[in-house]
Amino acid sequence: MSSSNMVSNLSPLSLLQAPAAASHVDTLAPVVLALAVILAAAKLGGDVAERIGQPAVLGELVIGVLIGNLPLVGVNSFQFITSNATIGVLAQLGAVILLFEVGLESTVRDMMHVGFRSLAVAVLGVVTPWALGWWVGSLLLPNSSVYVHAFLGAALTATSVGITARVLKDLGRAQSPEARIILGAAVIDDVLGLVVLAVIAAVIAAADSGAAVSYGSLALVFGKALLFLFVALSLGVVFSPRLFRFASRLRGSGVLLATALVFCFVLAWLASAIGLAPIVGAYAAGLILEDVHYRDLSAKEDWRLEDLIRPIADFLVPVFFVLMGMQVDLSAFSRPEIIGLAVVLTIAAIVGKQACALGALGAKLDWLSIGIGMIPRGEVGLIFANIGLGLVVRGEHIIDSATYSAVVIMVMLTTLITPPALKWSLSRREAGSGKRVTGTG
Amino acid sequence: MSSSNMVSNLSPLSLLQAPAAASHVDTLAPVVLALAVILAAAKLGGDVAERIGQPAVLGELVIGVLIGNLPLVGVNSFQFITSNATIGVLAQLGAVILLFEVGLESTVRDMMHVGFRSLAVAVLGVVTPWALGWWVGSLLLPNSSVYVHAFLGAALTATSVGITARVLKDLGRAQSPEARIILGAAVIDDVLGLVVLAVIAAVIAAADSGAAVSYGSLALVFGKALLFLFVALSLGVVFSPRLFRFASRLRGSGVLLATALVFCFVLAWLASAIGLAPIVGAYAAGLILEDVHYRDLSAKEDWRLEDLIRPIADFLVPVFFVLMGMQVDLSAFSRPEIIGLAVVLTIAAIVGKQACALGALGAKLDWLSIGIGMIPRGEVGLIFANIGLGLVVRGEHIIDSATYSAVVIMVMLTTLITPPALKWSLSRREAGSGKRVTGTG
């Protein structure tokens, strides 16, 4: 027992705290305090955002940025939140629940209708920013190696679907064809982005060690990743009704919610086991589940699944957004050369994703909203930057701390710009051709 | 960034996994898998328990014991669950939500009606098992020091209110006067138990070091602890309506749930800050909140708070019970001398708590159910045993591993015995004098 050594040398007085400390105070206490701070901040930030006509999620992000940067003015009271590992996992769990909830609002059949279009949007949305980022990198950092340029481009490829999903949900547009194209494309993006990163990283690792890159094994992993969604969606549609038919025979309360969560968590785990982000599996799980699968269970317990998932989402999703805001370091803004690179990268990131709109051409779709919806890089961009920090070619770090800060600022700006921009583009279209758009939802 | 070193030496192929691994796979993936296993196991165990007429919680505990002891038959697949720190915190969070939910079903006014009776029940329920455990210890372990005997007694004092609260909830009896006396007494027990432990530990520490025990400082902490509930309940009743009146003016969705959770988490944190278990604060928060405080907010969002908390409880509470079962080590049963001590300790633990019934004499109350409801030691008893493992007097461990196992078995038996016993005693009374009991709920 790890607590035994801790306790043995404490004074009598501190022992009154120790019984709890041994099991839950030094783990649970900071977690409940952090959750209280995050939930309070999220609701206050959301309130201010809605008062100025913006989606609540923007308020959650901005208040996160403010709290996270309080150390700049000497206030370190909230640093325990970002350093708490459990809060980090709860934030990721919030992203999983959010994508599951968003997925629940569509069906696999809906996705099929936008599938090829999503693929076109995703491929354009990966290739264009990558090329653009590579080119911009070679212009601004002429002394860096080609690997740095290629990596900067790769860091611009991923789409963080969380922000867009939340904005679409806040605006009641999560079921529009545009939303499905964006979310479908973001899921494919996640796969493509990881492959791009893997290819770049493989080339860099080969350059560093002199070893040959095994394109065969890369192709294998690439295939595995693409197969996952296909297999998960095909098998899931067959398996899900059986699972819920079995569950409907179980006694006890809360079976509907538990079964749905088990399904979501298993797919999230399978996705991560195959090398994808768990949110991909959660989104797939949401897509697969249809009302008709759990109709019996829902009738028996007299609850709709959406109403059972929503409180869990209301609890965990703000943790994800506030924490993402808190991880933004505003002090990087004080270095002009970083600002320059960051601004150019941000423009490349925004312009690059507008190529996605080309994938929506020809259909009567809101192509501007699709392009804007693909802008945010969010946590996926940060993950890319993180990986870059660890890559070395013959002693040269692929991403040094200045470039890293620029990438972080790019991630932040693309993330902050999306909610108001998307709200504007969606309402612009709604004002222009109101009834038709609402009718397609 | 901790991930950067991890990644730099990976092969190209494993890098496809790395982007995720850097942020969420090696933290989130085992968590979602563990949650899927726990929720599936809980619902299957609950189903079996209900089919044989027992509360679902017994099934969750037993299936936890079974899964946790699979290594005894060579299956180690589920060990990642008990070793995962986040799952441990989520289990504790489940206990917090459970106590909050149970507290919500009563009001402070209800508690006042049973307050003095709860105090009498609690004091009897602490003093009697302590004396009995001390005496039994001196009989069975004559060669051990008086400290060991005193500590064994102390390990019998605490009441784990989680099991009883859940059984009462499962049987729809959480609002009966007996339930309030039991839950109120268990809250007071938690305070008294920690004080007993602190006194014992202080005496032992003094004996080990030769230093004098400061009874003044002990009294100070004792007073602080008792004051907490009084102050929290008094101030909370004044503050809570204002908090919800403020919250009702906030825009955005999910404000009612977020405000209630913030209130619960802040009180749980305050309780732990003062040296009490966080669940004490969560229960106090539930007691304080009354429908009338959040009537406006509830009307605005068109949801009852109970219906918003229940899905979160359905998600997290089973984690607590399955994990508690998993931590039971059945292999300790193979040592006869441990069995002997364990059986005697268990009898002392059960008989000792029946003294609680004396506190209920004179009123038309189900005194047998009160005595039985106080039996389970649960995680609090395990915490006590843990602390004992770390206490040393001149080289002698106060609790060696054999005694520890006996205490763990006692905790397990008292925990497993309570659901069926409580169900029996409550239904016995209901059958005997049906209408009157239901009428008092």
Is the Cβ–Cβ distance between A37 and B224 less than 8 Å?
Answer: no
Helix (H, G, I), strand (E, B) or coil at A250: coil
Between A10 and A178, where is the model more confident? A178
Chain A, chain B: beta-carbon pairs less than 8 Å apart: 333
B386-398 pLDDT, tens digit each: 667 777 777 777 7
Please give, one letter per residue, the 3-state secondary structure of chain B: CCHHHHHHCCCHHHHCCHHHHHHCHHHHHHHHHHHHHHHHHHHHHHHHHHHCCCCHHHHHHHHHHHHHCHHHHCCCCCHHHHCCHHHHHHHHHHHHHHHHHHHHCCCHHHHHHHHHHHHHHHHHHHHHHHHHHHHHHHHHCCCCCHHHHHHHHHHCCCCCHHHHHHHHHHCCCCCCHHHHHHHHHHHHHHHHHHHHHHHHHHHHHHHHHCCCCCHHHHHHHHHHHHHHHHHHHHHHHHHHHHHHHHHCCCCCCCHHHHHHHHHHHHHHHHHHHCCCCHHHHHHHHHHHCCCCCCHHHHHHHCCCHHHHHHHHHHHHHHHHHHHHHHCCCHHHHHCHHHHHHHHHHHHHHHHHHHCHHHHCCCCCCCHHHHHHHCCCCHHHHHHHHHHHHHCEECCEECCCHHHHHHHHHHHHHHHHHHHHHHHHHHHHHHHHHHHHHHHHC
pLDDT band at B278 (very low <50, low <70, confident <90, very high): confident
Over residues B133-150, the mean pLDDT reads 86
| pLDDT value for A10 | 31
Confidence bin at A438 (pLDDT 50/70/90): very low
pLDDT in tens, B70-80: 988 888 889 89
Q: Please check whether residue A422 touches B, CB under 8 A.
A: no
A226 touches chain B (CB under 8 A): no
Chain B, nearest residue to A19 by Cα? B383
B96 contacts in chain A (CB < 8 Å): 28, 32
Given pLDDT bands bounded at 50, 70 and 90, which one contains residue A18?
Answer: very low
Taking the Cβ of residue B207 and every Cβ of chain A, the question of whether any pair is shorter than 8 Å is answered with: no
Q: Does B297 touch chain A (CB under 8 A)?
A: no
d(CA B87, CA A2): 17
**Interatomic CA distance for residues A191 and A226, integer angstroms:** 7
- Identify the pLDDT of residue B395: 72
What's the pLDDT tens digit per position in A122-161?
A: 888 888 998 999 999 888 888 887 878 888 888 888 777 7
How far does B315 lie from chain A, in Å, by closest CA? 7
A339/A332 Cα distance (integer angstroms): 8
Q: How close B235 comes to chain A (CA, Å)?
A: 19
pLDDT beyond 90 at B38: yes
Read off the pLDDT of each residue in A12-34 and give the average, rounded to a whole number. 55
Q: Place B24 in a pLDDT band, splitting at 50, 70 and 90.
A: very low
Give residue A222's pLDDT: 63
pLDDT at position B12, please?
Answer: 33
ipTM of the complex: 0.78
- Confidence at B378, pLDDT banded by 50, 70, 90: low
pLDDT digits (tens, 9 = 90+) for B79-113: 899 888 899 899 989 989 988 988 887 777 766 77
At residue A430, the pLDDT reads 63
Residue window 139-168, chain A: list those with CB within 8 Å of chain B.
none
How far is A255 from chain B, CA to nearest CA, in Å?
7
- Residue B432's pLDDT band, with cuts at 50, 70 and 90, is low
A250 contacts on B by Cβ (under 8 Å): 43-44, 46-47
- pLDDT classification of A440: cutoffs 50, 70, 90: very low
To the nearest whole number, what is the mean pLDDT of chain B? 78
Residues A3, B255: C-beta atoms closer than 8 Å:
no
**C-beta of residue B437 within 8 angstroms of C-beta of residue B430:** yes
B-chain CB neighbours of A36 within 8 Å are: 261-262, 265-266, 269
Residue B49 with chain A: CB contacts under 8 Å: 252
- Whether residue A226 is predicted with pLDDT greater than 60 in this model: the reply is yes
Q: Which of B270, B232, B261, B290 is nearest to B109 (CA)?
A: B290
Of the candidates B5, B22, B214, the beta carbon closest to that of A383 is on B22
Q: How far apart are CA A155 and CA A387, in angstroms?
A: 10
Whether chain A has a CB inside 8 Å of the CB on B92: the answer is yes
- Using left for φ > 0, alpha for ψ between -120 and 50, and beta otherwise, residue A358 falls in alpha
Residue A14 pLDDT greater than 50, yes or no: no
CA dist A89 and A93 (Å) reads: 6
pLDDT of residue B23: 37
A384 chain-B contacts, CB cut-off 8 A: 19
Alpha helical stretches, state H, A52-145 = 56-68, 79-82, 85-104, 108-140
Structure tokens at A317: 């999703």
**Distance of residue A224 Cα from the nearest chain B Cα, in angstroms:** 11
pLDDT in the model for residue B122: 83
* Res. B359: pLDDT tops 50: yes
Measured in whole angstroms, the distance separating CA B188 from the mean position of its chain's CA atoms is: 13
> Phi-psi bin for A75: left (phi > 0), alpha (psi -120 to 50), beta?
beta
Maximum average pLDDT range among A155-169, A195-209, B201-215, B391-405:
A155-169
Q: Which of B255, B309, B383 sits opposite A23 (nearest CB)?
A: B383
Q: What does DSSP say about strands A396-397 and B392-393: parallel, antiparallel, or unpaired?
A: unpaired
d(Cα A327, Cα A335) in Å, to the nearest integer?
A: 18
- CB interface of B with A, residues 337-366, below 8 Å: none
Which residue in chain B has the smallest CA separation from A401? B1
Shortest Cα–Cα distance, A292 to chain B (Å): 21
* 3-state secondary structure (DSSP) of residue A261: helix
Residue B32 has pLDDT above 80, yes or no: yes
A322-380: pLDDT as tens digits? 987 887 777 777 778 788 888 999 999 999 888 887 776 766 778 888 888 888 876 66
Least reliable range by pLDDT among A46-60, A249-263, B8-22: B8-22
Four-residue CA torsion sign, A225, A231, A237, A241: negative
Q: What average pLDDT does the segment B186-200 reach?
A: 70
The CA-based angle B389-B394-B400, given to 5 degrees, is 25
Contact B92 A275 (CB under 8 A): no
| Residues B23, A386: C-beta atoms closer than 8 Å | yes
Q: Measure CB to CB from residue B31 to each of A11, A89, A253 and give the nearest one.
A: A89
Distance from CA of B110 to the nearest CA of A (A): 27
pLDDT tens sequence across A68-108: 989 888 888 898 998 898 998 999 899 899 889 888 877 77
- Determine how many CB atoms are found less than 10 A away from the CB of residue A76: 8
Q: Inter-chain contact B383–A19, Cβ cutoff 8 Å?
A: yes
Do residue A214 and residue B252 have CB atoms under 8 angstroms apart? no
Closest-approach residue (CA) in chain B for A195: B16
The CA–CA distances, whole Å, from B211 to A12, A21, B147, B394, B429 equal 10, 24, 16, 13, 53
Tell me what the pLDDT averaged over chain A comes to: 79
Q: Is A393 helix (H, G, I), strand (E, B) or coil?
A: strand
In the structure encoding, which two tokens stand for residue B248, read together?
Answer: 């009702």
User: In chain A, pLDDT over 70 holds for what percent of residues?
Assistant: 80
Q: Does B27 touch chain A (CB under 8 A)?
A: yes
Q: Chain B partners of A309 at a C-beta cutoff of 8 Å?
A: 311
- Quick one: pLDDT at residue B67? 94
- Which chain A residues contact residue B215 at CB under 8 A? none
Residues ≥6 apart with Cβ < 8 Å to A315:
A39, B257, B258, B261, B312
Q: Where is pLDDT greater, at A55 or A85?
A: A85
- Closest chain B residue by Cα to residue A204: B12
Best CA proximity match to B62, nearest among B86, B88, B75, B44: B44
Contact B124, B306 (CB under 8 A): no
Instruction: Give the nearest chain A residue to B249 (CA atoms).
Output: A47
Task: Tell me: pLDDT of A273 over 70.
Answer: yes
Q: State the pLDDT at residue B174.
A: 79
- A188 forms bridges with which residues in the sheet? none
Task: List Cβ neighbours of B321 (8 Å cut-off, separation of 6 or more).
Answer: B42, B57, B60, B61, B64, B94, B162, B166
